[in-house]
Amino acid sequence: MAVLTRPPRARSAMGALVAFLLAACAAAPPPARAPLYPVAAETRAGPATVTVLLPGALTTSRVFGPARDWAGPDHLVVEYRLPGMQGEPLRPALDIDRAAGWVADLANRHPQARIQLLGYSTGAVIAIEAAGRIDRSERVRIVAVSSATPFPGAALALMRGAAQVAGGALAIGSLDRDRIWEEYFKTLYLGSGWRQSPEKRALARRLEEAMRGRLTTPGEGRGRAQSASLLFWSPSRAALESRAAITFYHGDRDPVFPLGAVGRLADRLGARLCVLPEEGHMLFLSRPDLTARIERQFRSPAPDAPC
C-alpha cells in the first residue's frame, strides 16, 4: 500500500508558515489593563476627593513625596504605574490616549467627587488629556510639573538630551553608561548651564555621592516604552475645551522642555504658569517645599492665589 507524503518543498513551506504563525502569536502584546493602584486601603466607597498621581518617565509616584499621604477616609489617592516600573510589564508601552481614558474612567466612577490630577513630565500630559474626557470637567483641578510639550517638543527634547549626554561623556572622559547617566542627572536636577555656577558645581559633587548606584536608567527598553507616545502628541480638542483649572510649575532652566514652549501650552489651555527661577527638570527633588505649595493650589486654584 502506497503512503502519500508531501513533497520536501511543500513540507518546508508548511514548516515556515507554522513558524511564522507561532512567532506572530508569541509577539502579540499582552492585553492592556489600567495600572492604577490606591496608595491606601481605608478610603470610603464614595470619597469627596480623588487624586491621581501621574509620574514621568523613569519615576514612580514616590517622586511626589508627601502627596501619597493625602489619602484618608474621604480622600482616595491613586498612583499610575508606568511600563517597567514597580512590577509593571514593559509591554504594552505607554499610550497617552489610553492612559488618559483609564484616568477619566476612574474619575467618572466618582461623579460627586472633586478630581485632582497631579502630573510630572509625561504624567502631566496624561492629566491634560484625561481632563477632556471627565464628565463635568469644572470639578477637575490639574497641577502639571515640568510638563512635556506638544509636537515637536518631545522630539527636540530627545535631540537635546542626546547632545547633553554626549557633552557629559566628554566632560567626565568616560563611556561608562552608569557614569554618563549620573552626569546627565546633574543637568536634569540643576538645569541648563549649571557648570558655569560655582555653587551648582559644588552641589553637583554632593549629588554625585548621594545618587551613585540609585538611579533608574532608560535601559532595557524602559525609556522607549514610557516616552515614545509623546513624540507626536498635541493637545486634543477635548483637552483644549476642558474647563479644568490648570496650574503649571516649571523651572526656567529646564533642560528637557524649555520654559517658552510650556508658556505657549499654558496659554492654549487657559492655564496658570508658575515659574521657579534657577530650577531644572527635577523640581520635586530640588524644591522640597513644592508638594506643600501644590496642595495649597488644589485647595485654592484661584488665578490670584500665590504660586
Residues 217, 201: Cα–Cα separation, whole Å: 22
pLDDT value at residue 28: 52
Residue 247 Cα to chain centre, angstroms: 17
On average, the pLDDT of the chain sits at 89
57 or 12, which is more confident? 57
Cα–Cα nearest to 265, from 81, 78, 62, 119: 119
Average pLDDT over every residue of 82-89: 95
Q: Reply yes or no on whether the pLDDT at 190 is more than 50.
A: yes
* Extents of the domains making up the chain: 36-150+233-299, 154-223
Q: Which residues contact 91 (CB under 8 A, 6 or more apart)?
A: 29, 30, 83, 225
Question: SS3 letters for the chain?
Answer: CCCCCCCHHHHHHHHHHHHHHHHHHHHCCCCCCCCEEECCCCCCCCCCEEEEEECCCCCCHHHHHHHHHHCECCEEEEEECCCCCCCCCCCCCCCHHHHHHHHHHHHHCCCCCEEEEEEECHHHHHHHHHHCCCCCHHHEEEEEECCCCCCCHHHHHHHHHHHHHHHHHHHHCCCCHHHHHHHHHHHHHHCCCHHHCHHHHHHHHHHHHHHCCCCCCCCCCHHHHHHHHHCCCCCCHHHHHCCCEEEEEEECCCCCCCHHHHHHHHHHHCCEEEEECCCCCCHHHHCCCHHHHHHHHHHCCCCCCCC
Q: For 236-290, how does the pLDDT look when each residue is reduced to its tens digit (9 = 90+)? A: 999 999 999 999 999 999 999 999 999 999 999 999 999 999 999 999 999 999 9
Distances (CA, A) of 29 to 42, 88, 90, 218: 34, 14, 10, 21
Q: What is the pLDDT of residue 29?
A: 56
pLDDT at 31: 65
For residue 5, is pLDDT > 50? Answer: no
- Give residue 30's pLDDT: 60
Q: Which CATH code, of 3.30.70.100, 3.40.50.1820, 3.30.830.10, 3.40.920.10, is assigned to 36-150+233-299?
A: 3.40.50.1820
CB neighbour list of residue 120: distance below 8 Å, 6 or more residues apart: 54, 55, 56, 59, 63, 64, 145, 146, 284
C-alpha to C-alpha distance for 160 and 146, rounded to whole angstroms? 16
Listed in sequence order, the residues at least 6 apart from 288 whose beta carbon sits closer than 8 Å to its beta carbon are: 65
Contacts (Cβ under 8 Å, ≥6 apart) of 198: none
Q: Rounded to whole angstroms, how far apart are CA atoms 38 and 78? A: 4
Q: What is the pLDDT of residue 3?
A: 37
What's the whole-number mean pLDDT along residues 128-139? 97
Q: What is the pLDDT of residue 21?
A: 36
**Is the CB of residue 284 less than 8 Å from the CB of residue 249?**
no
Distance of CA 35 to the CA centre of its chain: 13
Map grid coordinates 509620574 to a residue.
Answer: 55
Task: Give 241 or 217, the one with higher predicted confidence.
Answer: 241
Its pTM surpasses 0.75:
yes
Tens of pLDDT, residue by residue over 9-54, are: 444 444 444 443 344 444 555 667 899 999 987 778 889 999 999 9
Specify the range with the lowest mean pLDDT, choosing from 5-14, 72-81, 89-98, 227-236: 5-14
Would you say 182 and 210 are in contact if contact means Cβ atoms under 8 Å apart? Answer: no
